[in-house]
Amino acid sequence: MARKSDPELKEKEIIERTAPPGDVIYQAIYDEGEHELSRNSTSLALSGLAAGLSMGFSLLSEALLRTHLPNERWTILLSKLGYSVGFVVVILSRQQLFTKNTLTVILPLLREKRLSLLGNVVRLWALVLTANLIGALIFASLLAIPNLFERDVQNSFSAISLGSVQVDFITLCLRGIVAGWLVALMVWLLPFAESARIWAIIMIAYLIAMAGLPHVIAGSVEAFYLVVTSKLAWIQCLSGFLLPTLIGNVIGGIALVAVGAHAEFGEDLPGS
C-alpha cells in the first residue's frame, strides 16, 4: 500500500510537532479567565475552600518525608518534594487558588479596561482568598489535633512552619514577588504542557520550596498551625507573614507576568 503524501497531512504533522506561539497560549489563558469571572459566588467560594484544604497536603507531605528520611544533608532535597503535592492536587483538580488568579482574570481586565470588570475581579479575588484562608485554617487545626499524628511528625510541622515565618517584612515581600512570578509562569506553561503538566507543576513548586519563597496559601497553613498550637500570635501571623507575602505574590503575579504577557501579545489581538 502506497504511503500517503497528502500536503494537508504533512501540514497537520508539522503543527502537532511545533510549540504553540505565545499569542495562542495568551488566548487560552484569557478564555480561562473569562470563564472564571462568569462563575457565581457560591461556586467560587466552595472551590476556593477546597483549594485551601488541599494546599494543606503540602505541609503534611513535606513533614512526613522530613520525619521518615534519615537526617543527612541531602534529606532536604527529597523532603521539599512534598511541598509540591498541594499544588498538584489543586491545579489538576481545577480548584480556585488565589495566586493562580493573579494571572488568569487579570488578562481580560487589562484587555477590556472596564470598571464593571474591575469590580468582578475584586469580587473573585476577595471570595477566593477568603475561602482559601478558611480552608487553610481548617486544615491547620486538623493537623494540630493531639495524637492525630505521631509526635515526631508534629515536631516536623512546627520546624517547617517556624522556618517560614521567621523572616522580616521586606524580605518576605521581595521573596513573595518571586514566588508569585513563578506561580504565574506555571499557569502560563500549563495550557500546552499536555502529558507533562504534572512535571511542570512539580518543577515550579519544588523550586519555590527549595528557595524558601513564601506562598500566601501554602504558607498560611504553616502560619495557622503555629497559631493554633500557641507558637505564634495572631497579630504576627497576619501582619508579619500573611500581609507581606500577599503583597509580594500579587505584585509578582500581575506586574511581572500578566502585564508583560499582555504587553507582548494582548494588544495585537482582535478586540484589544
What does the alpha-carbon distance between residue 124 and residue 101 come to, in Å, rounded to a whole number?
Answer: 9
Q: Which domains does the chain have, with CATH numbers?
A: 21-268 (1.20.1080.10)
pLDDT at residue number 21: 58
**Residues 19-57 pLDDT 10s:** 555 667 777 787 888 888 899 999 999 999 999 999 999
Average pLDDT, the chain: 87
Phi, psi of 104 (to 5 degrees): -60, -50
For residues 165-172, average pLDDT: 93
To 10 degrees, what angle do helices 169-189 and 22-38 make? 110
Predicted structure pTM score? 0.86
What does the alpha-carbon distance between residue 225 and residue 231 come to, in Å, rounded to a whole number?
Answer: 8
**Residues 84-139 pLDDT 10s:** 999 999 999 999 999 988 778 888 887 777 888 899 999 999 999 999 999 999 99
Q: Check: CB of residue 186 under 8 Å from CB of residue 39.
A: no
pLDDT at residue number 262: 59
What does the alpha-carbon distance between residue 96 and residue 48 come to, in Å, rounded to a whole number?
Answer: 5
**Residues 197-239 pLDDT 10s:** 899 999 999 999 999 999 999 999 999 999 999 999 999 999 9
In a 13 Å sphere around the CA of 25, the CA atoms on its Cβ side amount to 21
